Chains A and B, each alone.
Chain A
Amino acid sequence: MRVFFKLVFRDIDLVIKGASDASAAILFYLLAIIMFPLSSGTDTSLLTTIAGGAIWMAAMFSSLLSLDRLFRSDFEDGSLEQLVLSGISMELIVLSKCLAHWVTNGLPIVLLSPILSIIIGLDFEYWWILALTLLIGTPSLTLIGATPAALSCAIGKGGVLTALVLLPLMLPVLILGSGAITAEISGLGGKGHLYALSAILPISLLISPILASKSIRLGWE
């Protein structure tokens, strides 16, 4: 367990010292949200209806962009190889990477979301459901993305291919997350979507470390 937290702190430390482009992904999140009112008009009633979806989409793309680097930078400078050889269980390493990624990417997205909901025109009384869906959804996005990120490492090329593989897998989270907000606004109550969304998290927590560690080992087979 101590090793686990050491690994997590190491990754967070690297981000704080600017060794990775995690902060750029957050900036991208802000920019992508601003694109929506600029592209589809500043009509307030229209913005209110698409606000939840817009924020969710920006969050998904932001985590997609930063997930591509989840294992890549460690893979390139050789520290991932050292971690694989170190005898620490691979699943634990994957989980620590995911936690560090969530703290540096998912958590800022969640924290920024109430402010952004004002900018984009979502009624402020719904900020809690937006933040709640993001709080439950972003860890699932990270965990789901771990396997394709590890695979893109093993392939040696990322970019479009990672997005192609990753986006269909992320879609259920996006549908349920923005669906909860839309249902809450329309008065149906977003609890149903929220329950389904929270079911994805433990499932992905169970499956994705196993598959991601298998994919990482593929790089040295």
Chain B
Amino acid sequence: MSNIFNFLANPSRFKIFAEKVYPFLLIIMLVFISIGLWYSLFNSPPDYQQGETVRIMYVHVPAAWMALMVYLSMTIMSIFSLVWRHPLADILSKSSAPIGATFTLIALVTGSIWGKPTWGTWWVWDARLTSVFILFLIYMGHIAVVRAFEDEYKGARAAAILTLFGAFNLPIIKFSVDWWNTLHQPASVIKLDGPSIHVDMLIPLILMAFGFLFFYFSFLLINVQTELDHRKLKKLFIKKLNLK
């Protein structure tokens, strides 16, 4: 296992790896999302209470899961970066943040669109909604801090420290529906005694979740390639300046 980490620690080696792998991830993502969309739009029953609006759930729930997952992976990478000074962990964490922020925004917007017909309001200051909104703000703060430093190394370390600090929000988001009995419904898929959702709805949900997961992986690799190219360009530019 540590061999794999060491092998991929070299940025140029990782870049070759990323270039080879990401088309496959992209194809897997497209397959999952197209099958999942077909299932969720045409081949799943409408809810007996919510009617057709339940289909928003197939985008909303995976996006919310991914918003948490991306932050969790950023937290793990920050530990890697602070403890072992793994050079790639910084780049992975930096590239993850915009994707995570987008997922959070998607979850907030779709939830709001779903909330209007179902709850009768676009937005309430419910515990789950508020904590997810805070997660979005933390993502934006992370993005701003990474870009504020002239020195990439320092910026990455600062962002890693902030990511660890913001991780307190993750358990609050996950358990907010259990701790505060407010409007957002409690968990129905990820819980101890198994999912309580009907299998016809579970299948498209799981398919979409995998589609979003592979969306994250493939776009992460694209972002990492861009970042590595960007750094290389900077070095070439500096070299040219030195030659003159």
Residues of chain A at the chain B interface (Cβ within 8 Å): 147-148, 151, 154-155, 157, 161, 164-165, 167-169, 171-172, 175, 203, 207-208, 211, 214-215, 218, 221
Contacts and interface: CB of A to CB of B under 8 A. Distances in A.
B144 A161 contact: yes
Given A155-B149, A168-B137, A172-B172, 12 more contacts: A148-B162, A155-B154, A157-B148, A161-B144, A165-B141, A167-B137, A211-B165, A215-B158, A215-B161, A218-B154, A218-B157, A221-B154
B14 to A, nearest CB: 24
B164 A211 contact: yes
Interface of B: 82, 130, 134, 137-138, 140-141, 144-145, 148-149, 153-154, 157-158, 161-162, 164-166, 168, 172
B145 A214 contact: no
30 contacts: A147-B161, A148-B162, A151-B145, A151-B158, A151-B162, A155-B145, A155-B149, A155-B154, A157-B148, A161-B144, A161-B145, A164-B141, A164-B144, A165-B141, A165-B144, A167-B137, A168-B141, A168-B166, A169-B165, A171-B130, A171-B134, A172-B134, A172-B168, A203-B168, A211-B161, A211-B164, A214-B82, A215-B158, A221-B153, A221-B157
A9 B141 CA distance: 34
Query: Which secondary structure dominates chain B's binding surface?
Result: helix
Contacts of B172: 172
A215 B163 CA distance: 12
A167 B141 CA distance: 10
Contacts of B164: 211
A175 B176 CA distance: 14
B158 A169 contact: no
B82 to A, nearest CB: 7
Contacts of B166: 168-169
B161 A168 contact: no
A168 B134 contact: yes
B66 to A, nearest CB: 20
Given A207-B165, A214-B82, A169 B138 contact: yes
